[in-house]
């Protein structure tokens, strides 16, 4: 079984809004002190792929990323978690790609370097752009079915896969034939493993296969941006919170009870 997981390097999504700023010249966030990390749901996708490989008893997990040299770190993270190999697409002068440019590059690299694959995994959305588009678009380009909101995948009968997915108010299991695109969401059952120190060190010695974007067969029109960010701004926030005062917990709770009742919504 060959499982591909697409992973993106993003500015730490957990950084406090207080530290978040936009460079007015480039219209990009200022990196500042915030670290670059593997996108939250992509890390979960690696976990889900590894669990599927374990359930199947064998297989290969390949991590794929579009990004500059620094993105090697997220590929190493995936390998430290026990992904078998890694491919990075070097974007060169591409700049900040939109969803179509990203999906086209990933689809081309999958076809050129990583095919055949049984499952191509994605996080449900990137931790920076929050678009939730790339996995769906790769499926369109490769002509594959998609299962979204997956929380786990296991082998089914006759070579099919059973994908457990979250619905609005519960869980359902869908049966699907490979190859398929699966986008992953979080659940208590798929919290990413923490790699062992020795695996982190080993991952640093593993090779990363680098593919140059211009060398990939991407249709000319998909090398252009289809939707551009014309403006980026931090929304104004002038909110004042009324803090409950009082000498004791009881007094503060009483103040809160009064304040809540004063809202007249109960």
Partner 1 sequence: MSVVAVVLAPEGTPGSGVDELMGCAVEAARATGGELLALVLAGTERTALAPTAERLWRLGARRVFAAADPALRDSDAGALVAALAGLVPETGASVAVLDGDPLGAQVGPRLAMRLGAASVTEVVEVRGVDGQILWVRPIYGGKAMAAVRARRPRTVAVVRPRVFRAPAAMQEGPVPADAVVHLSLPAGALGGARPRVVERRAGSSEGQKLEDARVIVSGGRGVGGPEGFEALRRLAEVLGGAVGASRAAVDAGWAPAHLQIGQTGKIVAPDLYVAVGISGASQHLAGVSGARHVVAINKDPEAPIFRAAELGLVEDYRKVLPLLTDRLAQALGRGGDAARAS
Cα–Cα dist 35/176, whole Å: 38
Cα–Cα dist 138/111, whole Å: 11
Q: How far is the CB of 187 from ligand FAD (least distance, A)?
A: 13
Choose the contact partner of 265 out of ligand FAD, partner 1, none; CB within 5 to 8 A by kind.
partner 1
Residue placing its CB nearer to ligand FAD in the complex, 14 or 212: 14
Residue placing its CB nearer to partner 1 in the complex, 57 or 250: 250
Q: How far is the CB of 78 from partner 1 (least distance, A)?
A: 19
Q: How far is the CB of 31 from partner 1 (least distance, A)?
A: 12
Per DSSP bridges, beta strands 180-184 and 119-123 are parallel
Q: Quick one: residue 158, left, alpha or beta (phi over 0 = left, psi -120 to 50 = alpha)?
A: left
Cα–Cα dist 260/34, whole Å: 37
Choose the contact partner of 234 out of partner 1, ligand FAD, none; CB within 5 to 8 A by kind.
partner 1
Contact assessment for residue 40 and residue 79, using Cβ atoms and an 8 Å cutoff: no
Cis peptide leading into 109, omega within 30 of 0?
A: no
Q: How far is the CB of 84 from partner 1 (least distance, A)?
A: 26
Choose the contact partner of 18 out of partner 1, ligand FAD, none; CB within 5 to 8 A by kind.
partner 1
Q: Which residues bind ligand FAD (CB under 6 A)?
A: 13-14, 40, 125, 127
């Amino acid at each position: 079984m060959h499982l591909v997981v697409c992973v993106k390097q993003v500015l730490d999504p957990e950084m406090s809004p207080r530290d978040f700023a936009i460079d007015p010249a480039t219209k990009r966030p200022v990196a500042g002190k915030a670290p670059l990390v593997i996108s939250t749901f992509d890390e979960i996708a690696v976990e889900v792929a590894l669990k599927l490989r374990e359930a199947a008893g064998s297989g290969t997990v390949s991590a794929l990323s579009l990004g500059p040299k620094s993105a090697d770190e997220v590929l190493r993270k995936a390998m430290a978690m026990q992904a078998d190999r890694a491919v990075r697409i070097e974007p060169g002068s591409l700049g900040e790609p939109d969803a179509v440019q990203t999906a086209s590059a990933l689809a081309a690299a999958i076809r050129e370097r990583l095919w055949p694959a049984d499952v191509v995994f994605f996080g449900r959305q990137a931790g920076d752009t929050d678009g939730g588009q790339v996995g769906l678009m790769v499926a369109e380009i490769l002509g594959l079915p998609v299962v979204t909101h997956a929380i786990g995948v296991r082998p089914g009968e006759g070579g099919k896969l059973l994908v457990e997915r979250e619905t609005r108010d519960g869980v359902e299991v869908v049966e699907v034939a490979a190859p398929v695109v699966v986008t992953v969401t979080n659940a208590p059952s798929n919290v990413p493993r923490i790699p062992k120190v020795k695996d982190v060190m080993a991952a640093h010695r593993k090779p990363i296969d680098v593919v140059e974007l211009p060398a990939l067969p991407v249709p000319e029109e998909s090398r252009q941006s289809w939707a551009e960010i014309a403006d980026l701004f931090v929304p104004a926030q002038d909110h004042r919170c009324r803090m409950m005062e009082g000498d004791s917990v009881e007094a503060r709770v009483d103040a809160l009870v009064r304040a809540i009742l004063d809202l007249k919504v109960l």
